[in-house]
Amino acid sequence: MTEEHGGAAAGERRAVKVSKYLARHLRHQPERIGIELDEHGWVEVDALLAAAAAHGFPISRAELEQVVAGNDKRRYAIEDGRIRASQGHSVPVDLDLPVTEPPAFLYHGTVARNLAAIRAEGLRPMGRHHVHLSPDRETATRVGARRGRPVVLAVDAAAMRAAGHEFRLSANGVWLADLVPPSFIRLPG
């Protein structure tokens, strides 16, 4: 391995660590480092950087901006000197996303061990505020693969919308629903 390649690998590992640190504190445990998210999930960048440094995980502004810009899933947004996670919060926030007309079908990636519960109860947000749905099978496959061999479920979003369910679209292209009843899910086999 060349020194240049080793440096790039170290940079990628650091970017992953910073991204996970941001997820933990912008989505789940802001109080752990003494930051307070506003009602829409935003916190001042300077406050986040100071809190991270005070808790033994210093992040430079350039590093933060690089992680936000380089994240292929656009998990974070920076706006007007503030930062927030795009979705996936377990702490109470209102992302202030408008109700949006979904495509006819959306997709959800999972694993086989979850299918019995999904058949019985549908898709529930679990520890999050919303069920996360993907716009295409490929994305749902990648999501499901994080937990094992993926199973992709098709969600009849058009029928759900016609039945009065609401959908919101996060800044990073993830579709959000309060829940997906089993009758709107096309299960494999």
pLDDT mean over 142-159:
95
Q: List the helix and strand counts (H, then E) for the chain.
A: 6, 9
Strand order across the 43-44 sheet? 43-44, 82-85, 76-79
pLDDT mean over 84-109:
91
- What is the structure's pLDDT at 90? 85
Q: What is the amino acid identity at position 25?
A: H
In this structure, of 81-85, 127-131, 161-165, the range with the lowest mean pLDDT score is: 127-131
- What is the structure's pLDDT at 9? 83
- What is the structure's pLDDT at 72? 67
pLDDT mean over 160-189:
92
- For each of the domains in the chain, give its residue range(s) and CATH number, in order of start: 3-85 (1.10.10.970), 105-186 (3.20.170.30)
CB atoms within 10 A of CB 132: 20
The pTM of the full predicted model, rounded to 2 decimals, is 0.75
Residue identified by tokens 């080793």 is 6
Q: How confident is the model at residue 2 (pLDDT cuts 50, 70, 90)?
A: very low
Quote the tokens at residue 95.
């992302």
Quote the tokens at residue 46.
């300077």
pLDDT in tens, 25-78: 999 999 999 999 999 999 999 999 999 999 999 999 999 999 998 876 788 999
Phi then psi dihedrals of residue 101, to 5 deg: -70, 120
Q: Cβ distance 160 to 180 under 8 Å?
A: yes
Using CB atoms within 10 Å of the CB of residue 71, give its burial: 0 to 12 exposed, 13 to 18 middle, 19+ buried.
middle
- What is the structure's pLDDT at 1? 44
DSSP H helical segments within the chain, as ranges? 3-23, 45-54, 61-70, 115-121, 137-145, 157-162
Q: How confident is the model at residue 188 (pLDDT cuts 50, 70, 90)?
A: confident
Flag whether pLDDT at 115 surpasses 80.
yes
Q: How far apart (Å, rounded) are the C-alpha atoms in residues 25 and 27?
A: 6
